[in-house]
Structure 1
Amino acid sequence: MAAKDSNLLEEIDDNFLSCTVCSERYKNAKILACLHNFCEPCLSKLAEKSGAITCPICRRSHELPDTGVSGIGANLFINELVEMFRKREESSEAAGQCQGCGQAESVKHCVECDSDLCRFCSASHGLLAVTRSHRLMTSEEYQAAKSIDPVSVQPPIYCETHTDCQVDFYCDTCDGNIFYKCTALDHPRPEHKYRYLKDAASEYSKDLKDAIDKVKVKENEAHKSKAVVMETVESLDKYYNIEEANMKQHIQKTIDDVTHMIRENGDKLLGELKNEYEKRKINLNAQLKELECVESDMSYAREYAEKLMHYGNAAQLMSAKKGIASQMEELLNVETQTDPTETDYMEFQACDDFCSTKSVGVLLTSIASVIDVPEIVRKGEDITLTIATDDENAEIIAVMKKPDNNQEEITVINNNDGTWSLKTQAKMTGKHEVTVSVSMRPVKGSPVTINVIPQKGLICKFGREGSGVGELNDAWGVRVTKDGNIRSVSVEITDYSLSL
């Protein structure tokens, strides 16, 4: 147990009590709004060149108070831990000796004084009026409690005004720990609202736990999103390497015919591929870096809050409430469920006849799609579909399979706005299937099915005769949209009209 306790304390000292600027144990630790901590001297150096401090960890900018670095809130929790480790190191140098007389062997430990005492000094400690209420524990009891419940054996926090009195109240109005005598002059009711420190800490611990749980969910979401983005980056690298190899192979194949033109055209295409790749890689890496920062911030805030709840006492917990609550609220508002900002789709399509096309191929970076598809068309009317793609040089082919299994090619019209219209006539009733390809590639949403109905006749039936819900009498003024959908029906009921 002693070895486990020692390892845990060493881990806390190495990972939690060292300033990331000077790499030494904190000297009057100050906590920024982003919950990152630094020594006061280190922050003073960072603030020398401007009136603001840029956090060396998360790069967020923080305005300095009017009083400068000294006005930044101290991290009571960390400073208490630093002091505890300092005393622990001092006591280890004189292990087994009484810290009262400095001569006899220590047998007890005073929690309030954080001192080891011999049998005689501990007896005197219990008789003096000033120290009579202090908690004395045997050395074995103290070591066991420190391993099991370190909060229970931490020295108490004393009031800043009444320096010899322990804080026992928490003022909600001032958001600070106070001694009960402070309530009379500095925190009078009803202007101030205060309560027992333990009650306030207990209530806030529940709220903090809920916030930690929510942040952990968001942290997991950010981690999953990061994994998806990383997978996309890897896939993008793979497709880049594959298509680059294909492109180079085709360039090499045609280079014997017209070396200069092929090299010129091939280098241009390689540049397009590389530019597209680098653009997407930059965007994906930027998204990945942002998600990593979000995950790191959430992980740090969660770990800090968890350590504070585990190792900090009530006063330390409540002294950090304001900063933690602000940071938790900010983190919980961060969007963590995101899709990759770029797709991994890139494809090189080779042209076999360079002499006629003057190009070794084309680079496809987006997929066309079919839009504005009518579900029902009457026989004899025109069937019109729209293809959307950003490829101005796209070769679009559309074939319609009719109910009799015969096929016919559909006319394609370039609208010169990034869309193409497909038009044909519905010559027979039944289901028609239209298949569209762009530059020899299937189009998203293809094939589509269109139902051709007779020129006249009932399309659909709804409602019944009557004046109740879902019933119609003397329907008139039926309004139908251009694609055949009923927009509204007017019916006459008694002396007035009602539009449905």
Structure 2
Amino acid sequence: MASKLSSNDFGEQFLTCPVCMLHFRDARILPCLHTFCKQCLQEWAGKQDPLECPTCRTQVSLPDQGVDGLKTNFYVNNLLDFAAVKKGAEPGVPCQVCEGNMEASKSWCADCATLMCESCIAVHRKLPFSKDHEVTGEETLKAERDVRNFQRKRHCQKHKNHELVFYCESCNALVCTACTVVDHRPGKDHNPVEITSVAQVREKTLQRLLQEIDPRLKEIEASIEEVDRKMSKIIPSKDSATNQAKVYFRRLVDLLQKREKKILSQIEEQCRVDIKGLQSKKEAIEFGLAELTSAQTFCQQTVEHGSDVHVIEVGDQVQRRVETLLTKQLDLESNWSEFQFVENTSVVEFEKDVDNFGGLETDVDVSKCKVVIKPAVQGFRCVAVLTTMTKEGCPCVTNSKAVTANMADPSGTDVITKLLTKGGGVWEISYSPKVTGKHRLEVKVNSQHVAGSPFDVQVQSGDTPVLTIGRPGSGVGELNGPAGVAVDGDGNLVVVEQSNKRVQIFDADNGQPLRSFPVDGEKPYGIDMDSNGRFLVSSFGENCGIRLYSKAGELLITLKPDCVQDPTGVTVLKDGRMVVADKKQKSCLLLQPDGSLIREIGKGQFLDPRFVKVDESRDVMFVTDGSGHKIVAFDLDGNLTFGKEGKNDGELQNPRGITLDPTGNIIVCDEVGRVQVFGPDGTFIRNLATVKADGARGLGIALTQNGYIAVACFMAGCVELYRYM
């Protein structure tokens, strides 16, 4: 049954573990049929949960025995044996039993999988348990190229000296002759048959599968060739489209330049004509001025210096000349109005039209296009994201005129929508709904509805959570006593769980759990991220302290200086300093990155300090005082206290979580679940929401990168997100 293949038919790559890059050691097969060293798989499994195949990334469900339960790749082991035996037959290789006789001839015992010298073989043949073992001599070793002659014989784990020669179909297990007498006796519960017959049936099945594989391989190879053919067309297609686009836009530029030249010429001509006209008018006025000035001078000289005779002689003449000049009509008006350039088409209007100047036509398949509707909240800018796709399901760009989006509110009134291309075939559809309820969104490409269009978009009121993350429990994605919340550098939501004693990270867009890691301390409470993306977690109670964890969740350092007794909230400044609220000391502590005390803040101002947030732009820190029902703000000049106990807007009941928006407004949640917004000076602005989870007890809060307030609902075991910006 075995084919005549030699080790030369396989390169080193076939016998090399892809992880350690050495020859396989105890080769084990994963369900995806990729082979690795047993030890390599054990190390790999220790780093991952669930385990992924290092080669194809397929998730693997290990047997109950773990890696030990995976099947051994005996064929690879046989090839390695074959290579070792062929090398062992050469001079200079010691006997594997006596470790001597390096120059003597060697023989191979297939039953023991051992290379032995002539002396050891002679003894081996005389021993009762091994006298019938299959031994191959040196000459055969040197000439043999068939791997099957060097296969290790498989022996029963229970009966060590018995070879596995039967297969119990009822138990799906290989057994020896002794097993068929004891544990697998033929009958209604067991059906042992010879391995050869079972293998022949299995081999026929595999041969049939091999025949089915060939056509499939050809189909796949043809597909790859088709992909290669299309890939070969991409660059020429790109070059052609680029040249066409350049020609098109050069023509537009030429038209604009010609228009510019014409307008500038008109301006120049108008300027020349106006200057020439005004210059002629100026010359006429100057001539009249000269005449009148000359007559004035002559008349003045006659009056001031002339004798009576002279005055009588020229007086009439001067009088007539002056009177004539005074009555002479001169056009003293310039008759010119200032000219200016007028935008017949405004730049803003032109900018809107620019998106329609040319486009890229692709083979969009509307049935493959995808639309993701983001949570919609009344009065806020909301978006849906369209990805235009080819029939192969790949994103593709398309002409802006090809994409349209229209929305109507529950009454049928149109809602203004705007389309913005984000590149790579991704389009953002934005709108601002004025009412709540079910809206209808139509999205078309090339005048055809994309898959799923028209869409029903449920617009919620601002005090309704757009997303609830988690539910009570200790499993993946479940929450037990969520306390502090933060946002990491990737925009993910980070939640510290007091009861589960772990940090869990969620996708803030859809609430999907991404990963988690355990934390120390009896009651983990506050959490923040430093500038390097590491997690800082505070815990009070037994084994209290402030602990720094790496991005991967590894504990790096535990800070527990003498000044820290029961830390609750914590925040990290850009320079690495920390501000920690300490409920036992009823104050806040400003600490160096190494935990050493810089100064104590607010001693005597608190009854129950909980969470803290710092506005570094103004050097102001805000602290919630639970039992004091207030927020205390400290700066360089003193402190500002605002808030009083009550259920009305602007009043607080055991305030807990606190955060700031980009403008410096203060957002605070109290124990009864109200989320309120105050100005930087403490002036009440608005009531954002009241958490909806049953039995909710609002604790930590955070503002996400996409404009939502995340509220940890301690008793309800979830985090609710409300639209804020």
Q: TM-score, normalised by structure 2?
A: 0.35
Greater percentage in helix: 1
Structure with the bigger RCO (C-alpha within 8 Å, sep 6+) is 1
Q: TM-score, normalised by structure 1?
A: 0.49
Structure showing greater radius of gyration is 2
